[in-house]
Structure 1
């Protein structure tokens, strides 16, 4: 019997009518399958083929399935009950894949946490979900996870078991010792199989716009986006997937782990970002596809030895989450021979638009995809969400369909703000949709610079700055101004550390014929733009820097 918590979403039936659930299933958008069903298929059909490669080794489908079953048996032996949460905070390693699949095999729920999270955030996530077990590496990138886990025990009252990959601390269990000695008999987990409409996992948002919120998905909603992308791009057993984004995040998990299992494709995991290492892995493993962060493809095209790698297998770099400049799409094709396909989605409604490979080139370079079949996208008036805006006008992005989350775990107020009773999600993004149905992301609603009543898109200015020969990357944020309300400040990373002045930026924009009100009125040259592991520029960090500078110098 599954564990339930009063007032917390546990199933699709908590937020959808029986008729809506039946419609999703009748259309084939929800297939009532679990991701471990595909593991069983590959164990039978391709047992000796490589399933996952990481920077420490590789594992076959048969060996992966055996270890998943042994770990699931260990979860049961440890007294974990169906519906309880197991928290996993691991880097891009084979063991993460084992753990995630074993959680589902045992009828448990996953709390996935990226390895960058530290004590304050982890304690909050463990407490919010009531996680009963927590799995970490002993150290990663010189951080001591064992010491953090010891401190967390007093802050997470429901936590019973800490499992450590590597050297465990006092009262913790080493990962390899925790595994059951042998896999249980076939069918041993049948009575633990969850309803595909039940919650499968909770993953917390990156917190770029506020406190983290636990995004709730089911087994059915999880499988919808990776199924759509696999069908659109023809993924299969012969199309290895390279994944440099964290697989603890929705992007890496759904379009790395899930698509690998859906298709029987080898999954190639890169943990720490290094463009030369990335090129080596793509070339050696004959990778075909990834969904990953825009800065990664930006780094790859900047490498001066691209021609020394055989990248002929690599066809698709799918990217969203961070802004994609049209010039970068052109460079990916001309310099790497791959299609950079712009997409749109969020953790709450993962990737559900795509620039398809045969779409008109002007759409591929200039838009953020069109919705997959069965996905509704509507641009609405932010002040009256019941009112759609005319085609081509800017409004708030909303979407409905089989991919949308159920809500935020334990936060009905936040859920009500983002998702209406019909299941439509309002993202807080300003977008347009053209007459052909292609989405164009304009900005976060709060990222518009309001200069004396003139609304300036930060994205528009960033794309203009990206065309400057000395600019490698740029982010524009609003600076408070007593007279105009706000002015634009540009944070810029220059190519090769070149010097760049505000006067040069102004002259460049003037030459391009850009309206003067759109020119940045302050320039900050920095070494790198702060970003989450999924590539989202952390504008809150940039704003905090401006606030601190103003407080210390009185500068506006």
Structure 2
């Protein structure tokens, strides 16, 4: 039986022109040639604002690369970054990429339990964390794990003051400057260079491996479909530890040599202030981000006069929100569907957004293909709901530690785990609509909750005999999680009890159930599987 061949896949994408083998340093080189003193990064955070021109950005990248190399980082080593939307994130990503290392962004919400697995699985050599961000002791946790994990050699503290600070890394006395134009990068742009975890349905998260080519193709596709250019200013409000903030924020801005404005923590009112101050023209995020902007303007905040386009992803957009964004913000909302594994695979053109952004999740961008099939693999007619498959230039090249042929079929198709259908109208038959998920995942504010792992933790509670986590609709976040529980006879479990339990288990708060329902028994199939659709029906208004 023919299996997926990664070498053939790479060759085909290059022959078709979808993989161009450009590197991040190529875009920096162009920016330094054309406008070295243009504002490249604005890092807005509680402790102050840092503004870097492309010349200043390149200086910090060269120094950080030298400091990382002095710590022993080289080709193939994994550098993990648990950083908020700070300038240090941008510098560390581009510095590690220059060294041929693999960059592993991690969300600041992750705690000891998640980090122990993620850092251990990838065998990270350097871990960069922030001092003075949020309520968690990220630095203390990082140092604890460094002492525990033999392969984790160094912790670097952004905003720190000691010998392991990011400032000390920059002042290590070494530089790795941009190589002359035409010099091949240390790592082939078709090899793994970016590792990002996705919450799975079988317990542990999976390490998604992207290449420079897949990331650059996503930036190029979004640029062309959204008519972006060097003149745009990009607000990065979505977390950079998430693929949306990384790909549709940092990498997209770099690709266009555009100014990126990094907002440390999301706040709709402050986002509007940044849009006004820096004349932001483009931003992206999950539905709650857009809803917050609309709500703030409706509450009296000034209208964002320059924000022409908002890329909305993570969940279907309510039609009323598309209309409100146009009326209240004067902003066009373009819908996009993607996932950690396939980036921005489908997108609605701004010209058709008024009609289609609320009805669809876009059509395939250049280099990407999608199809909807039944359980036997037969392509379905428009309007028929089935499994969504995807392949192409933005697709990852496999999960870390898993043979590619276990993820892709012989023709390169990957089952997304989503249910979808194609629109029935002839003039938009290539547009898709996500209609549910075959994977047991709840998406809260664009963040996937690992259902099986949380259920497993719940049943470890001494009073709980069974648990099923089910999503229920929420106007702002899209979904929240309700835990249906069966308990020991005579026992009582309250929501506050679960919060204490989750906290003791060191689970990210975004994964905690926000509602509980105590039931006598779980509805099950004859084979013993829980019928979650029956539980969802109980939550339907």
Tell me how far apart the structure 1 counterparts of residues 367 and 77 of structure 2 sit (CA, whole Å).
32
2:84 matched to which residue of 1? Answer: 91
Once the two structures are superposed, residues 393-447 of structure 1 have per-residue CA deviations (whole angstroms, 9 ceiling, x without a partner) of 00011111111111111234xx666432432111111110124211111111257
Is residue 2:4 matched to residue 1:28?
no
Q: Secondary structure at the match of 1:22?
A: helix
1:108 matched to which residue of 2? Answer: 101
Contact 2:372 2:422 survives alignment (8 Å)? yes
2:401 matched to which residue of 1? Answer: 410
**Displacement of 1:256 after TM fit?**
0.9
2:516 matched to which residue of 1? Answer: 546
Is residue 2:416 matched to residue 1:427?
yes
Q: Which runs of 5+ in 1 are unaligned?
A: 1-13, 449-457, 460-476, 478-485, 495-523, 525-537
Contact 2:13 2:393 survives alignment (8 Å)? yes
Q: Are residues 123 and 15 of structure 1, via their aligned partners in 2, closer, same or farther at CA, if it must alter by over 3 Å?
A: farther
Counterpart pick for 1:290 among 283, 290, 294? 283
**Displacement of 1:237 after TM fit?**
1.9
**Displacement of 1:492 after TM fit?**
5.2
Q: Secondary structure at the match of 1:269?
A: strand
Tell me how far apart the structure 2 counterparts of residues 356 and 267 of structure 1 sit (CA, whole Å).
22
Is residue 2:372 matched to residue 1:379?
yes
Q: Secondary structure at the match of 1:546?
A: strand
Tell me how far apart the structure 2 counterparts of residues 371 and 175 of structure 1 sit (CA, whole Å).
40
Q: Are residues 489 and 76 of structure 1, via their aligned partners in 2, closer, same or farther at CA, if it must alter by over 3 Å?
A: closer
Q: Secondary structure at the match of 1:64?
A: helix
**Displacement of 1:28 after TM fit?**
1.7
Alignment of 1:354-393 (within 5 A): 354-359=347-352, 361-381=354-374, 383-384=375-376, 386-393=377-384
- What is the TM-score normalised by the length of structure 2? 0.78
Counterpart pick for 2:241 among 243, 248, 253? 248
Tell me how far apart the structure 2 counterparts of residues 325 and 305 of structure 1 sit (CA, whole Å).
17
2:69 matched to which residue of 1? Answer: 76
**Displacement of 1:307 after TM fit?**
6.3
Alignment of 1:105-254 (within 5 A): 105-167=98-160, 173-179=164-170, 180-181=172-173, 183-184=175-176, 187=179, 193-206=186-199, 210-254=203-247
Q: Are residues 59 and 25 of structure 1, via their aligned partners in 2, closer, same or farther at CA, if it must alter by over 3 Å?
A: same
Q: Are residues 227 and 491 of structure 1, via their aligned partners in 2, closer, same or farther at CA, if it must alter by over 3 Å?
A: closer
**Displacement of 1:273 after TM fit?**
1.5
Tell me how far apart the structure 2 counterparts of residues 242 and 192 of structure 1 sit (CA, whole Å).
29
| Larger RCO, structures 1/2 (Cα 8 Å, 6+ apart) | 2
Tell me how far apart the structure 1 counterparts of residues 396 and 278 of structure 2 sit (CA, whole Å).
34
Once the two structures are superposed, residues 361-391 of structure 1 have per-residue CA deviations (whole angstroms, 9 ceiling, x without a partner) of 432331111111332110011x32x222222
Once the two structures are superposed, residues 157-198 of structure 1 have per-residue CA deviations (whole angstroms, 9 ceiling, x without a partner) of 2111111113367xx611111223363566399586211111
Contact 1:138 1:168 survives alignment (8 Å)? no
**Displacement of 1:336 after TM fit?**
0.7
Q: Are residues 105 and 17 of structure 1, via their aligned partners in 2, closer, same or farther at CA, if it must alter by over 3 Å?
A: closer
**Displacement of 1:94 after TM fit?**
0.6
2:438 matched to which residue of 1? Answer: 445
Tell me how far apart the structure 2 counterparts of residues 338 and 99 of structure 1 sit (CA, whole Å).
33
Contact 1:133 1:162 survives alignment (8 Å)? yes
Is residue 2:38 matched to residue 1:49?
yes
Tell me how far apart the structure 2 counterparts of residues 406 and 425 of structure 1 sit (CA, whole Å).
11
Once the two structures are superposed, residues 195-223 of structure 1 have per-residue CA deviations (whole angstroms, 9 ceiling, x without a partner) of 11111110001457743111111111111
Tell me how far apart the structure 2 counterparts of residues 201 and 109 of structure 1 sit (CA, whole Å).
5
Contact 1:202 1:216 survives alignment (8 Å)? yes
1:396 matched to which residue of 2? Answer: 387
Tell me how far apart the structure 2 counterparts of residues 44 and 251 of structure 1 sit (CA, whole Å).
29
Once the two structures are superposed, residues 39-63 of structure 1 have per-residue CA deviations (whole angstroms, 9 ceiling, x without a partner) of 1221221111110111122111000
**Displacement of 1:154 after TM fit?**
3.6
Tell me how far apart the structure 2 counterparts of residues 334 and 153 of structure 1 sit (CA, whole Å).
51
Q: Are residues 338 and 185 of structure 1, via their aligned partners in 2, closer, same or farther at CA, if it must alter by over 3 Å?
A: closer
Q: Are residues 274 and 187 of structure 1, via their aligned partners in 2, closer, same or farther at CA, if it must alter by over 3 Å?
A: closer
Tell me how far apart the structure 1 counterparts of residues 471 and 243 of structure 2 sit (CA, whole Å).
31
Tell me how far apart the structure 1 counterparts of residues 6 and 257 of structure 2 sit (CA, whole Å).
34
Tell me how far apart the structure 2 counterparts of residues 540 and 80 of structure 1 sit (CA, whole Å).
33
Contact 1:146 1:168 survives alignment (8 Å)? no
- What is the TM-score normalised by the length of structure 1? 0.76
Tell me how far apart the structure 2 counterparts of residues 185 and 125 of structure 1 sit (CA, whole Å).
31
Tell me how far apart the structure 1 counterparts of residues 322 and 248 of structure 2 sit (CA, whole Å).
20
Q: Aligned pairs, how many?
A: 461
Tell me how far apart the structure 1 counterparts of residues 335 and 178 of structure 2 sit (CA, whole Å).
43
Q: Secondary structure at the match of 2:290?
A: helix
Q: Secondary structure at the match of 2:22?
A: coil
Tell me how far apart the structure 2 counterparts of residues 489 and 269 of structure 1 sit (CA, whole Å).
31
Say what the alpha-carbon RMSD is for the aligned residues.
3.3
Contact 2:65 2:176 survives alignment (8 Å)? no
Once the two structures are superposed, residues 296-353 of structure 1 have per-residue CA deviations (whole angstroms, 9 ceiling, x without a partner) of 1111111255765252211111111123111111111111111111111100001111
1:277 matched to which residue of 2? Answer: 270
Counterpart pick for 1:340 among 330, 333, 339? 333
Q: Which runs of 5+ in 2 are unaligned?
A: 444-450, 452-467, 477-494, 496-508, 522-534
Q: Secondary structure at the match of 1:226?
A: helix
Tell me how far apart the structure 2 counterparts of residues 152 and 264 of structure 1 sit (CA, whole Å).
37
